[in-house]
């Protein structure tokens, strides 16, 4: 069944009942302050780094689920009726409920006994805060006297310490309260120059900052004593658990409405201006509130909050105008035109750090992940993609290998995870090539970028690409295929790990430096991105590089042809003993998705039918109603020589789960063969909008992709997990926009190359590209799957060039009309 519906005009998903099968969340924030926000107002917020600078506390893996948020409690003083209008944490019975998740904002609206409540939550474009505009409306015929209590729980900044180091934490919490402003200043007296403020633009009847005083002994968030009493305790937290709660008394005449603006902000002072009044023995220091006052001043009225929200709406309207789709298939149109791009922005911002499945503590920005995330984002804000590329490249080592992750605050490589994922370097070429194709900015290649974050050994970005290109060539194994190292794209295929120790990291342990285990996937990635490296050399007068690079690619393809083909599909790898993985000879794991899709994407086997055979084998052995599983048969037992992939129960994650990230690789590969119907089928199977009716099984949000859907061997086949932060977002956007709808940036312009189901009669796309707008309509009354018969550009026929139908770069700020006829 469905738990809501899409509202395409508003670009919102409307959740119509609060008890969704899992919290369905949204992200607030676009730049450096972010909030995770569930359909019942759960979640938390942070400034820049979800681990180090977390403002509010959230309890992962808690029962009941989704505890911690920005809560409002209402109490009708007439009968003492108490409820939470966002449903949680009291699971209150509501006469009406709706949550609208939009682009960077969410709105919860509900009603009980004639009192309507609405909460609009967002992070303004240019400020480090969450704004929650709350409106109470008396829909009854009599006056109402309502007590409203706000509630947030402060995190003591470092989210990891916050949930582990209680011997310290219970002694360090400090706050200040001034009027309606609650300041959280734990650790401000020592090495932090920042504090949080939680404020409302109305006088309060009382406040609380001590959790126990507010809740009462042994009470949960669902039964706060202060609320039942109708009276705050005016508590000042000293150690233990600091919270922020305002008590507002609202007298509402029949029909009357009142709006309140709550702000939760991050404030920072220069080291020498931290204090308004320094501490003296016997009294604590008073923090300098200048930044807080400035912030609160900006949002002191409901109109100011509305204006900031309007600016945010305008920002998103403009971003999403860069690529729009109009088609009969509304599910595809809304995903490609709205939600997929929105998710791409979120994955670009978050990498794999903070979601309802990623705790915000463990992982930094991934080298390979961030390079891929760029793909779905570069057309939205190319300048930020540029900056990201330079940050990533600075964590590369002088030999071309790379830190697998870097930390967002320091931008330095993460020593705990280290290096040795031998696919990493190639993704940099991929990211840079995508950026140049989008922007035409070859200047980025001349930027001086450090190696290993060391300015003393900086070189041009081009030098980085060259190191990337040759890394797998210089680190090849016995069959001339790239050595896999700790793992390739598949983090869980750990061929040099041989772990027997529980809890040991599969990815960072190498107990057996074989120098033998090889990856066919890395070879295929090389063959896919290599030609872009060559093109870049040609186009920037680096002709001396060309022939050596071409030879290296040819040699790589040759190695795949000689040692990477298994008869009906491509092999996946050779293990540390030189044994085949992903072969008919194997008992389990006979066929894998990655090497097959990527080899075809790279064009390997196109000339002799092997490409077609490989994709047919993928369909035959790996396909399911919910997408294509990663491998078959699933590993039944733990294989010490394969690592984590065999540690998962059959059907989950990398062990034969539907790992959505690489399904679009099959889609793209199918378009290489011109099989539009099959390409579209693989697209729709993992596309959440097509599974909206199936929400009880799928459980995750119907508006965003999930990393994994349980595979056919799993107990809950079809159930999704790990929504939001996944490479699936960028890759599906590439597959639908560039390869199915076929509007693809190339070095010389915008290539038109659709590959669609024969039943799709046409569609329209607008694409902003290098300073001009292209209004493209595609006519497929011929019922073709691939192939363009004619293109009219601004009324004149266009000629197809060597590389197909390429729309030229205009850069004139104008709109250009393009009519494409397939057939
Ligand atoms: C996760 C990782 C990604 C990896 C994938 C497959 O999504 O973030 O880097 O490629 O899993 O293991
Ligand atoms: C785990 C996950 C895998 C992920 C990896 C990243 O192994 O199963 O999907 O890519 O962690 O560290």
233-278 pLDDT, tens per residue?
Answer: 999 999 999 999 999 999 999 999 999 999 999 999 999 999 999 9
* Backbone φ, ψ for residue 285 (5° rounding): -65, 155
Using DSSP's 3-state secondary structure scheme, residue 357 falls into: coil
Q: Which atom of ligand 2 is nearest to the CA of 648?
A: 8
Nearest CA to ligand 1 atom 9: 369
Q: Which residue has the tokens 């923090």?
A: 287
**Within 10 Å of residue 818's Cβ, how many Cβ atoms?**
23
Q: Which ligand is nearest to the CA of 661?
A: 1
Catalytic residue among 76, 208, 424, 491: 491
Nearest CA to ligand 1 atom 6: 490
Q: Mean pLDDT, to the nearest integer, of 503-532?
A: 94
CA of 523 to the centre of ligand 1 (A): 18
Taking the CA of residue 241 as centre, how many other CA atoms within 13 Å lie in the half-sphere pointing to its CB?
A: 18
pLDDT at 415: 87
Position 337 pLDDT exceeds 90: yes
- Tell me the longest C-alpha to C-alpha distance in the chain: 86
For a ligand 1 pocket test, name from 353, 363, 369 the mutation site with the most ligand atoms within 8 angstroms of its C-beta. 369
Could you tell me the pLDDT band of residue 811, with boundaries at 50, 70 and 90?
A: very high
Q: Is 491 a catalytic residue?
A: yes
Position 363 pLDDT exceeds 80: no
pLDDT at 660: 98
Position 452 pLDDT exceeds 90: yes
Q: Which atom of ligand 1 is nearest to the CA of 366?
A: 9
pLDDT at 223: 98
Nearest CA to ligand 2 atom 3: 491
Nearest CA to ligand 2 atom 6: 491
Give every CB contact of residue 280 below 8 A, 6+ residues apart in sequence.
none
Q: Mean pLDDT, to the nearest integer, of 725-751?
A: 98
C-alpha span between 691 and 695 (Å, rounded): 7
pLDDT at 283: 86
CA of 597 to the centre of ligand 2 (A): 21
pLDDT at 510: 84
Q: Which atom of ligand 1 is nearest to the CA of 487?
A: 12
For a ligand 1 pocket test, name from 355, 363, 489, 722 the mutation site with the most ligand atoms within 8 angstroms of its C-beta. 489
Question: Over the stretch 122-142, which tens digit does the pLDDT of each residue have?
Answer: 999 999 999 999 999 999 999
Could you tell me the pLDDT band of residue 610, with boundaries at 50, 70 and 90?
A: very high
CA of 492 to the centre of ligand 1 (A): 9
Task: Give the rounded percent of residues in the chain with a pLDDT score beyond 90.
Answer: 96
Q: What are 414's two structure tokens?
A: 């993460």
CA of 490 to the centre of ligand 1 (A): 6
CA of 665 to the centre of ligand 2 (A): 19
Position 96 pLDDT exceeds 80: yes
What mean pLDDT, rounded, does the chain reach?
97
Q: Which ligand is nearest to the CA of 727?
A: 1
CA of 507 to the centre of ligand 2 (A): 8
Position 607 pLDDT exceeds 90: yes
Q: Which atom of ligand 1 is nearest to the CA of 707?
A: 7
Could you tell me the pLDDT band of residue 618, with boundaries at 50, 70 and 90?
A: very high
Q: Which atom of ligand 2 is nearest to the CA of 644?
A: 7
Could you tell me the pLDDT band of residue 211, with boundaries at 50, 70 and 90?
A: very high
CA of 662 to the centre of ligand 1 (A): 10
Q: What is the pTM of this model?
A: 0.97
Protein residues with CB under 6 Å of any ligand 1 atom:
352, 366, 368-369, 489-492, 654, 661, 707, 726-727
DSSP 655-668: BTSEEGGGHHHHHH
DSSP 678-745: HHHHHHHHH-GGGGGGGHHHH-S-TTS-EEEE--TTSTTTT-EEEESSSTHHHHHHHIIIIIIS-EEE
Task: Give the rounded percent of residues in the chain with a pLDDT score beyond 70.
Answer: 100
Q: Which ligand is nearest to the CA of 493?
A: 1
CA of 550 to the centre of ligand 1 (A): 29
Protein residues with CB under 6 Å of any ligand 2 atom:
491-492, 507, 644, 653-654
Using DSSP's 3-state secondary structure scheme, residue 818 falls into: strand
pLDDT at 440: 98
How far is CA 43 from each of CA 25, 209, 244, 354, 726, rounded to the nearest angstrom? 8, 19, 15, 11, 19
Beta strand pairing call for 815-822 and 772-779: parallel
Q: Which ligand is nearest to the CA of 729?
A: 1
Give every CB contact of residue 142 below 8 A, 6+ residues apart in sequence.
254
Q: Which atom of ligand 2 is nearest to the CA of 417?
A: 12
Could you tell me the pLDDT band of residue 693, with boundaries at 50, 70 and 90?
A: very high
Q: Which atom of ligand 2 is nearest to the CA of 707?
A: 9
First to last CA, the chain: 40
For a ligand 2 pocket test, name from 418, 654, 661, 662 the mutation site with the most ligand atoms within 8 angstroms of its C-beta. 654
Altogether, the residues listed in the chain come to a count of: 823
Could you tell me the pLDDT band of residue 416, with boundaries at 50, 70 and 90?
A: confident
pLDDT at 464: 98
Q: Mean pLDDT, to the nearest integer, of 332-351?
A: 97
CA of 390 to the centre of ligand 1 (A): 22
Q: Which ligand is nearest to the CA of 724?
A: 1
pLDDT at 53: 96
Nearest CA to ligand 2 atom 10: 491
């Amino acid at each position: 069944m469905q738990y809501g519906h899409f509202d395409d005009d508003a670009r919102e998903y409307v959740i119509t009942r609060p008890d969704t099968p899992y919290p369905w969340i949204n992200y607030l924030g676009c730049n450096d302050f972010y909030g995770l926000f569930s359909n019942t107002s759960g979640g938390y917020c942070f400034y820049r780094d979800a681990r180090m600078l977390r403002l509010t506390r959230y309890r992962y893996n808690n029962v009941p689920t989704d505890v911690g948020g920005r809560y409002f409690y209402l109490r009708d003083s007439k009968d003492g009726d108490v409820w939470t209008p966002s449903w949680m944490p009291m699971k209150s019975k509501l006469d009406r409920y709706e949550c609208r998740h939009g682009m960077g904002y969410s709105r919860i609206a509900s009603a009980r006994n004639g009192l309507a409540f609405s909460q609009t939550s967002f992070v303004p474009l240019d400020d480090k805060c969450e704004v929650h505009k709350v409106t109470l409306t008396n829909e009854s015929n009599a006056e109402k006297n309502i007590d409203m209590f706000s509630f947030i729980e402060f995190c003591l900044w470092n989210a990891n310490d916050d949930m582990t180091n209680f011997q310290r934490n219970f002694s360090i919490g400090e706050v200040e309260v001034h009027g309606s402003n609650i300041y959280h200043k734990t650790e401000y007296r020592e090495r932090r120059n920042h504090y949080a403020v939680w404020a409302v633009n109305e006088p309060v009847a009382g406040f609380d900052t001590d959790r126990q005083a507010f809740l009462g002994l042994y009470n949960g968030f669902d039964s706060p004593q202060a609320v039942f009493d109708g009276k705050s305790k005016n508590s000042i937290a000293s150690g233990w658990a600091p919270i922020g709660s305002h008590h507002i008394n609202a007298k509402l005449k029949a029909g009357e409405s009142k709006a309140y603006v709550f702000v939760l902000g991050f404030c920072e002072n220069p080291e020498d201006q931290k204090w308004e009044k320094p501490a003296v023995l016997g009294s604590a220091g008073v923090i300098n509130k200048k930044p807080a006052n400035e912030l609160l001043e900006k949002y002191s009225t409901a109109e100011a909050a509305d204006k900031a929200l309007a600016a945010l709406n305008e920002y998103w309207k403009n971003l999403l105008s860069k690529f729009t789709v109009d088609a009969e298939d509304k599910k595809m149109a809304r995903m490609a035109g709205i939600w997929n791009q929105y998710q791409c922005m979120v994955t670009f911002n978050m990498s794999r750090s903070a979601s309802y499945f990623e705790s915000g503590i463990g992982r930094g920005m991934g080298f390979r992940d961030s390079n891929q995330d760029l793909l779905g984002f570069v057309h939205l804000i190319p300048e930020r993609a540029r900056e990201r590329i330079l940050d990533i490249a600075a964590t590369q080592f002088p030999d071309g290998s790379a830190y697998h992750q870097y930390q967002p605050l320091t931008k330095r490589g993460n020593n705990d995870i280290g290096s040795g994922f031998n696919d990493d370097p190639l993704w940099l070429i991929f990211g840079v090539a995508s950026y140049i194709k989008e922007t035409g900015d070859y200047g980025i290649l001349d930027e001086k970028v450090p190696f290993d974050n060391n300015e003393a050994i900086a070189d041009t970005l081009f030098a980085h690409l060259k190191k990337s290109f040759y890394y797998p060539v210089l680190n090849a194994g016995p069959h001339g295929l790239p050595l896999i190292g700790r793992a390739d794209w598949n983090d869980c295929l750990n061929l040099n790990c041989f772990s027997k120790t529980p809890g040991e990291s599969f990815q960072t342990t190498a107990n057996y430096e074989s120098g033998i285990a090889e990856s066919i996937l890395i070879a295929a990635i090389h063959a896919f991105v290599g030609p872009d490296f060559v093109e870049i050399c040609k186009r920037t007068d680096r002709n001396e590089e060309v022939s050596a690079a071409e030879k290296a690619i040819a040699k790589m393809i040759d190695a795949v042809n000689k040692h990477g083909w298994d008869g009906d599909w491509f092999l996946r790898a050779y293990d540390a003993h030189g044994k085949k993985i992903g072969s008919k000879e194997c008992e389990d794991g006979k066929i894998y998705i990655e090497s097959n899709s990527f080899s075809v994407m790279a064009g390997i086997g196109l000339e002799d039918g092997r490409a077609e055979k490989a994709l047919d084998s993928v369909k035959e052995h790996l396909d399911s109603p919910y997408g294509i599983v990663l491998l078959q048969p699933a590993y039944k037992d733990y294989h010490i020589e394969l690592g984590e992939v065999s540690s998962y129960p059959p059907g989950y994650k990398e062990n034969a789960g539907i790992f959505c990230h690489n399904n679009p690789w099959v889609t793209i590969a199918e378009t290489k063969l011109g099989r539009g119907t099959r390409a579209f089928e693989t697209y729709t199977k993992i596309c959440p909008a097509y599974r909206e009716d199936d929400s009880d099984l799928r459980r995750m949000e119907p508006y965003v992709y999930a990393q994994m859907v349980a595979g056919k061997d799993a107990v809950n086949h079809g159930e999704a997990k790990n929504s939001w932060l996944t490479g699936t977002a960028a890759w599906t956007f590439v597959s639908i926009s560039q390869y199915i709808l076929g509007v693809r940036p190339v070095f010389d312009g915008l290539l038109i190359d659709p590959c669609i189901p024969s039943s799709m009669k046409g569609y329209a796309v607008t694409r902003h590209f290098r300073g001009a707008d292209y209004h493209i309509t595609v006519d497929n009354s011929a019922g073709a799957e691939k192939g363009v018969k004619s293109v009219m550009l601004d009324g004149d026929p266009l000629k197809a060039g060597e590389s197909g139908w390429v729309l030229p770069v205009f850069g004139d700020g104008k709109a250009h009309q393009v009519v494409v006829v397939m057939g």
